Chains A and B, each alone.
Chain A
Amino acid sequence: MTKVLDIQNLTVKFGEFIAVDNITFSVEKGEIFGFLGANGAGKTTTIRALCGLVNISGGKMFIDGKDVSKNTKELKPRIGYMSQKFTLYPDLTIKENIVFSGALYMMSEKETLKRMHEVFEYVNFKENPDEIVKNMSGGSKQIISLAASILHNPEIVFLDEPTAGISPVSRKLFWELISKLSSDGKTIFVTTHYMDEAEYCGRIALMQSGRIIALDNPQNLKAASNASDLEQAFINFLDKK
């Protein structure tokens, strides 16, 4: 398997506060890689560092063998990023939001809308594209956000708590879409709070206070901590620390 993401001794500090503390891991092509941890564990900061959104304090990050800090401009079109925050314009329509997102990646309106329909069709999303986004439900907004971040067909997709606050039905649909993306050869890097969602991941990194305390596939993590489910495994790992 080819390493798509290679992170070596990554450290991110904000003043005195160490958000990410010397972490090392790699992600393979087509893998769904999960980041699990409480709020403030350093998941979002790691994703932001990988997308070139924050300055790093130490270590190296490589995407496809290219140093992220030195090749940000070249790498940005190859990654898709869905922030934890809601990053659509609430006063614009679904279509206007999507067309603007596509334009940021130099996509024509026609091309963008074709892609939007493909994604919406796959998850059976039936909202009117001329509807204003602020009138949508939480689940619909997340689907639109995801569509906006994968329009340009990125090789790696970073999803920061994509299913936070949405209904179980929407969450299921969402994960089906993520699995489909992975089977298409895209590498997915996802952070989540939900332990049941973590089961969908190929491998999981458990994070606490900016450090990775365990990293393996769900079965091995459960076996290593003598737990029947991931939640218990996580607790056991935290206790061990």
Chain B
Amino acid sequence: MPRFSIIKAFFKKEIAQTLRDKKMFGMIFFAPIIQMALFGFALTSEVKNISISCIYSQRDVLAQKIETRLLESGWFVSAKTAERIDYSKILSERKAEAVLVMQSQGLLKEIERGSAQIQLLIDAVNPQRAVQIENYVKNIVSQTVSQELSNTAVGLATPIDLKVQILYNPSLESAFFMIPALLGFILCIFTVMLTGISLSKEKESGTFEKLISSPVTVWEILLGKTLTYSLLGFIVALVMIFASYILFGITVKGGILKLLFVCSIFIVSSCSVAIFISTLAKTQQQAMMGSLIFLFPALLLSGLIFPVENIPVYARWIAYINPLYYLLETLRNIVLKGGDWVVLIKNCFALGLIGTVLLIFGVKKFNSKL
């Protein structure tokens, strides 16, 4: 059984070391808030500020309306293109990202005749952005056209009246989607990097020799280290929850307790990864590199930025053994939807399983000899 007084001594030592280092203190408490503000405000997955050039005859009222609607939507800005002949040149010189060509003598008349044609050219260097631009334009054109048709004597109305209700994030704010996941990612960075570096620091500076020559057990060393940095991680998580409320008005729908519960199950996995890294790393720099080698793929295959559903099936299996994937999904569920019990239990079970396997592996590999 690990002895409480030894774990307490480790805790006091680690906290004194961490808080005495002013740079570290700043990194722990202010960097996450700055990162959150950056991710929340700047890194939005919404496609905005698309420069578009609409080409049509000045007498075409419907085409004019389409352009106005595009610009009013807030997604598009008008590209100032003097040249209106060579469309591909407009795109290749990045004067516009999209060109909408409506060259007819009257779009409405052509629609009535059934021979209307509109051409949309999109710069698809960024394919994701291109698909979104296509959808935006298609929607706005079809809405404007159907409205125009229902207003005219022809009286053609759209056959389906589609009513859309957007749940959980009605204003479709990217920040709502990003912040809960960012919270999880920062918790992961904290526990993996700080624990890993702290363990390697003992080895690099020689203090590890003192620890293992004393009667402390491997479990006491590991618990003393991991509990400290997990607790610091929790404090940072709480600071971030508070900051996300102040900055973005995000409230944790499912309650903070549910959130901390999931985080604590996740921490078993992240600390085990840190223990494993420290068994391979002899210096702090190596531990830092090791942490990055884990964190990058863990981040990319977690659904923080790219949805896991978009990943090809063979690579998706890597995501399914990535503890960060389950954490982020559960955190988003708790923050935005209130934390559905089925999702919670399913993901906590997966996290628990991955954590146990990693822990057994990490502790077995952790050597109490030099």
Residues of A participating in the B interface, judged by any CB pair closer than 8 Å: 48, 51-55, 73, 76-77, 79, 81, 83, 85-92, 96, 99-101, 103-106, 148-149
Residues of A within 8 A of B213 (CB): 51-53, 76, 79, 81, 83
Contact A89–B206 (Cβ < 8 Å): no
Contact B206–A105 (Cβ < 8 Å): no
Contact A89–B13 (Cβ < 8 Å): yes
24 residue pairs from A and B, CB less than 8 Å apart: A48-B370, A51-B213, A53-B212, A53-B370, A76-B213, A79-B213, A83-B209, A83-B213, A85-B206, A86-B205, A87-B207, A88-B207, A89-B205, A92-B17, A96-B12, A99-B9, A101-B210, A103-B5, A103-B6, A103-B8, A104-B210, A104-B214, A106-B3, A148-B210
Which parts of B193-225 form the interface with A (CB within 8 Å)? 205-207, 209-216
Does B369 count as interface, using CB distance less than 8 angstroms? Answer: yes
Contact A96–B13 (Cβ < 8 Å): yes
C-alpha spacing A97/B216, complex, angstroms: 16
Q: How far is the CB of A34 from chain B (nearest CB, A)?
A: 20
Categorize the interface residue count of chain B: 20 to 34
CB closest residue in chain B, given A158: B213
C-alpha spacing A91/B15, complex, angstroms: 12
Residues of A within 8 A of B369 (CB): 53-55
Residues of B within 8 A of A96 (CB): 12-13, 16
Residues of B within 8 A of A51 (CB): 213
C-alpha spacing A73/B213, complex, angstroms: 10
Contact A53–B207 (Cβ < 8 Å): no
C-alpha spacing A153/B248, complex, angstroms: 59
Contact A89–B17 (Cβ < 8 Å): yes
User: What 18 additional pairs, Cβ within 8 angstroms, besides A83-B206, A103-B9?
Assistant: A76-B214, A81-B213, A83-B209, A85-B205, A86-B206, A87-B205, A87-B209, A88-B207, A89-B13, A91-B21, A92-B13, A92-B20, A96-B13, A99-B9, A101-B210, A104-B6, A104-B214, A105-B214
- Contact A104 B13, CB 8 Å, known A53-B209, A85-B206, A91-B20: no
Q: Which of A54, A92, A148, A149 contacts B370 (CB 8 A)?
A: A54
Residues of A within 8 A of B9 (CB): 99-100, 103-104
Residues of B within 8 A of A103 (CB): 5-6, 8-9
Residues of B within 8 A of A55 (CB): 369
Mark B349-369 against chain A: 1 for CB-CB distance below 8 A, else 0. 000000000000000000001
Q: How far is the CB of A36 from chain B (nearest CB, A)?
A: 22
C-alpha spacing A201/B361, complex, angstroms: 47
Contact A81–B6 (Cβ < 8 Å): no
Residues of B within 8 A of A85 (CB): 205-206, 209
Residues of A within 8 A of B210 (CB): 81, 83, 87, 101, 104, 148-149
CB closest residue in chain B, given A84: B206
Query: Lowest 10 A-B CB distances belong to which pairs?
Result: A85-B206, A103-B9, A104-B214, A87-B210, A81-B213, A76-B215, A83-B209, A51-B213, A100-B13, A53-B370
Q: How far is the CB of B215 from chain A (nearest CB, A)?
A: 4
C-alpha spacing A96/B11, complex, angstroms: 12
C-alpha spacing A137/B206, complex, angstroms: 19
CB closest residue in chain B, given A104: B214
Residues of A within 8 A of B214 (CB): 76, 101, 104-105
Q: How far is the CB of A103 from chain B (nearest CB, A)?
A: 3
- Contact A106 B5, CB 8 Å, known A48-B370, A83-B209, A91-B21: yes
Q: How far is the CB of A64 from chain B (nearest CB, A)?
A: 16
Question: Which one of B9, B20, B209, B210 has the greatest number of beta carbons of chain A within 10 Å?
Answer: B210
C-alpha spacing A149/B16, complex, angstroms: 21
Mark B33-77 against chain A: 1 for CB-CB distance below 8 A, else 0. 000000000000000000000000000000000000000000000
Which parts of B316-370 form the interface with A (CB within 8 Å)? 369-370
CB closest residue in chain A, given B214: A104
Which parts of B92-123 form the interface with A (CB within 8 Å)? none
Residues of B within 8 A of A79 (CB): 213
Q: How far is the CB of B358 from chain A (nearest CB, A)?
A: 26
CB closest residue in chain B, given A78: B215
Question: Which one of B3, B21, B209 has the greatest number of beta carbons of chain A within 10 Å?
Answer: B209
CB closest residue in chain B, given A87: B210
